[in-house]
Chain A
Amino acid sequence: MNESLLINISIALLFLPLLGFATVIFLGKKVPKIYLFEVFIVGIALIATMALMFVKLAYYQSHDIIMAFNWFSIGIAGMKDSFTVELGIKLDNLAVIMLFVVYLISFLVHLYSIEYMRGDKRYNRYFAYLGIFTFSMLGIVLTHNILMMYIFWELVGLSSYLLIGFWFEKKSASDAGKKAFLVNRVGDIGMFIGIMILFTHYKTFTFDTIFAQMALGNIPFNSTWVLTATGILIFMGAVGKSAQFPLHVWLPDAMEGPTPVSALIHAATMVAAGVYLLTKIFVMLTADAMLTIAVIGGITSFVAATIAITQNDIKKVLAYSTVSQLGYMVLSIGVGAYAFAFFHLVTHAFFKACLFLGSGSVIHSMHHEQDIREMGGLRKKMPITYYTFLVATLAISGIPLTSGFLSKDSLLAGTLAFGKLTGHWLLPAIGFLVAALTAFYMFRLVILTFHGKPKNQHKFDHAHESPFVMAAPLVVLATLSIFFFYTPNPLSAGDGWFISDWVKTPHTVVPASAAFDFMVDHSAAHSAKAINNDAHSATNSSEAVTNKSHSSEANSSAHGEITHSELYTETMHWAHYPAMFASLIVAGLGILLAFVFYQWRKVDADKLAESIKPIYKFSLNKWYIDEIYNATVIAGTLVLARFLSLFDGKVVDGAVNGAGHTTKFISRLGGWFDTFVVDGFVNFTAFVSGFIGLSFRRLQTGKVQTYLVLVIFSVIIILLVIRPF
């Protein structure tokens, strides 16, 4: 396979789900079985994706493939203020891995939905929506410029809205859809402003060109402050999409959508798009921006974890756990542990999709019961669901031999190293606390759902293991939660191919003064020169060659080198074992506590909750964040709206009505004038003509003799007047 073939395959992969969407949406009413076409398309695409990923990772590992073409140009090329907007595809290691993750989970969810959604009256439309979602998500993954990313960013927002509100007859579902859409808009405004700052300065949307310019020291408006602001503004998009505090409120509500959708969009792929965006802009983040991101991520993971402890809805617990894990990833980006953030994204996508699909399996068999207080004892009845759910739970809790342990442990090591290097010890502290909380609430969920005695005998009797198409995805995803897909050493991710070969931390392009010290490699004397050369060639190549696929030699350096300073590498080594032991201890502690509370019932959880009622209530009510928003933002908006409506009613309408009245008055005046003056004049003219006509009519007797007399008199008069003699 050569490069152009890879690009062509990736373009086909991008548009295949769109084809599925169009086919299913247009033929859905006529051909009841058309949804199978969509499933088939995604299945075929998954196979192609595996081939693509294999080739990219095996043969083009440190070699990114870019294809771009001019979309449109404004102005004359070379003139001031002229620019060209490009569309393009960039295949780097992250993109192909994400491509695989998206397609795999999308395919499994398609498969799963065949059974889960059976009997729904909008069955075909559901699959069409899944298709458009997959298309939009792939657009984000494959794009090489931030404008296209923004377009697809909004498209996933749309498909998310459509799928959350899929059962729109339910008020709560349609409300949740609107909430998700609006909350995302808030973040997107920031992202848009950030994009516009970049565009205003660089006259391009292409990531590589922008970063190449930055590496040359050409930063927006020549101010690191603006660069920081730009980073944070673009991060706002991720705050919305990845449900970071304080915009996380939409994600738990999004659980109103069908459960497979929650697994695909609101756990594994779309919400990870924010983190993926952060990996894209990672190189342009300044120290301040990174610290902001880390703090937001830390707060998010902590807030969500504390809320998840007390939730009783199986999907709500998983939703908050998703928010918490996304907070982890963002935190990880913020502390500079780029590769581990992406690693956690991938592992989390698999085990969280597994958890969601498992919960869907439980909900399906319990006749849409979602309250874990009504469940219990399902272990015997649903063994496949139980064991896959358990594996995924172990993974998310960070137990060795699972993928979650690898990613979480290295992520926590990253925060620990960050703490040691910069003195921000609170961030690793929060990280470990959240790890304990995660283990606790996940095992609480498992124990309450699957262990113990059934609490609702009637529903329990109904419960049954799910059919093959629902169980198979669970098994696949649970298998992918095992360590050996990522590394041969179950204790260290760094030894594995995922971290050491595939995902390399790119070189920061921020001026050294604005970046964290440990991000800049001081020891490499050649680095500055190398960057300059790379930047030059990158600029040249992206300017000169746009219309055909080309490999960017320059970009290979962006992903080929580990560019942290030696100090950072040393600190990471130092942090590795403490982080591992600490995370093991906190995870074990969390699991132990969960067993003490809910399995062995040594301590009565309800009594404990009663004794610390304010805290319990605070957590149960989700920190009252929704209430705060209701009281401030929403109430404020309503007050403003009411005021504006009043203003509209009184002032604007008054002005309009006044204008109307004035016009009416003037027209009445005009009408009066018309009737009496203009018409009068016309009538008068007619009357005069008539009068004259009447008088002259007498002369017209028709008698020749009269005429003759007149002629004679006329002649006499003329003769008298002219006097010719």
Chain B
Amino acid sequence: MINVGLNHFLIVSGILFSLGLYAVVTRKNAVMVLMGIELILNAANINFIAFSKFGNLGLTGQVTALFVIVLAAAEAAIALAIVLNIYKTFNNVNVDEIDHLKD
């Protein structure tokens, strides 16, 4: 049995972050992009908890993780509202085709 330490957590969190980032960068569907963002946030949560467990920092990290989850929920609500508005405007949610920032 391998002794699970901080590095393992960080690796998992790094992989998760990378997957999230990849999803954000490559997905065409705006909803998928949002899901990528959720992955990134959760990678951060893992980091908070890992540092909290191994860093003798008390419960601060875990509380922060809870706060991030709440924040993520709020973010998801707002983001989905935005996506809905995008859909109303462009009749799709394909981020490739939304390039109005260019103008």
Residues of A at the B interface (CB closer than 8 Å) are 700-705, 707-709, 712
Contact = CB atoms under 8 A, between A and B. Distances in A.
Contacts of B95: 703-705
B25 interface: yes
Interface in B1-49: 21, 24-26, 33
17 contacts: A700-B102, A701-B99, A701-B102, A702-B100, A702-B101, A703-B95, A703-B96, A704-B95, A705-B24, A705-B25, A705-B26, A705-B33, A705-B96, A708-B24, A708-B25, A709-B25, A712-B21
B81 interface: no
Q: Give me the 4 closest cross-chain CB pairs, A-B, nearest first.
A: A702-B102, A702-B99, A702-B101, A703-B99
Nearest to A703: B99
A521 B102 CA distance: 120
Nearest to B96: A703
Nearest to A708: B25
A704 B21 contact: no
Nearest to A712: B21
B90 to A, nearest CB: 13
Contacts of A704: 95, 98, 101
Nearest to B30: A704
Contacts of B101: 702-704, 707
Nearest to B33: A705
Contacts of A707: 101
A703 B98 contact: yes
Nearest to B103: A702
Contacts of B25: 705, 708-709, 712
Contacts of A700: 102
Contacts of B100: 702
A702 B95 CA distance: 10
A703 B95 CA distance: 7
Contacts of A703: 95-96, 98-99, 101
A709 B21 CA distance: 9
A265 to B, nearest CB: 95
A433 to B, nearest CB: 118
Contacts of B96: 703, 705
The DSSP consensus for interface residues of chain B is helix
Contacts of A702: 98-103
Interface in B58-103: 95-96, 98-103
Contacts of A709: 25
B17 to A, nearest CB: 11
Contacts of B33: 705
Contacts of B24: 705, 708
B84 to A, nearest CB: 17
Contacts of B103: 702
A439 B100 CA distance: 123
Contacts of B26: 705
A700 B102 CA distance: 6
A250 B99 CA distance: 102
A702 B21 CA distance: 19
B103 to A, nearest CB: 7
A701 B21 CA distance: 20
Nearest to A700: B102
B44 to A, nearest CB: 16
Contacts of A708: 24-25
Contacts of B21: 712
Contacts of B98: 702-704
A704 B26 CA distance: 11
A700 B98 CA distance: 13
A709 B25 CA distance: 7
A167 B98 CA distance: 98
Contacts of A705: 24-26, 33, 95-96
Nearest to B28: A705
A318 B26 CA distance: 127
A690 to B, nearest CB: 18
A712 B24 CA distance: 12
B43 to A, nearest CB: 15
Nearest to B100: A702
B26, B33, B99 pick with most chain A CB within 10 angstroms: B99
B57 to A, nearest CB: 21
A704 B99 CA distance: 8
Nearest to B24: A708
A34 B99 CA distance: 95
A700 to B, nearest CB: 6
A705 B33 CA distance: 9
A383 B99 CA distance: 124
A66 B8 CA distance: 131
A709 B98 CA distance: 16
A413 B103 CA distance: 120
A693 to B, nearest CB: 14
B28 to A, nearest CB: 9
A705 B101 CA distance: 11
A204 B67 CA distance: 111
A342 to B, nearest CB: 108
B58 to A, nearest CB: 26
Contacts of A712: 21, 25
Nearest to A707: B101
A708 B22 CA distance: 11
A86 to B, nearest CB: 89
B85 to A, nearest CB: 15
Nearest to B26: A705
Contacts of B102: 700-702
B7 to A, nearest CB: 15
A700 B26 CA distance: 18
A707 B98 CA distance: 13
A705, A707, A709 pick with most chain B CB within 10 angstroms: A705
Nearest to B102: A702
Given A703-B99, A708-B24, 17 more contacts: A700-B102, A701-B99, A702-B98, A702-B99, A702-B101, A702-B102, A702-B103, A703-B98, A704-B95, A705-B24, A705-B25, A705-B26, A705-B96, A707-B101, A709-B25, A712-B21, A712-B25
B55 to A, nearest CB: 18
A709 B95 CA distance: 14
A705 B95 CA distance: 8
A420 B98 CA distance: 134
A705 B100 CA distance: 13
Nearest to B99: A702
A712 B98 CA distance: 20
A329 to B, nearest CB: 107
A712 B20 CA distance: 13
A702 B103 CA distance: 7
Nearest to A697: B102
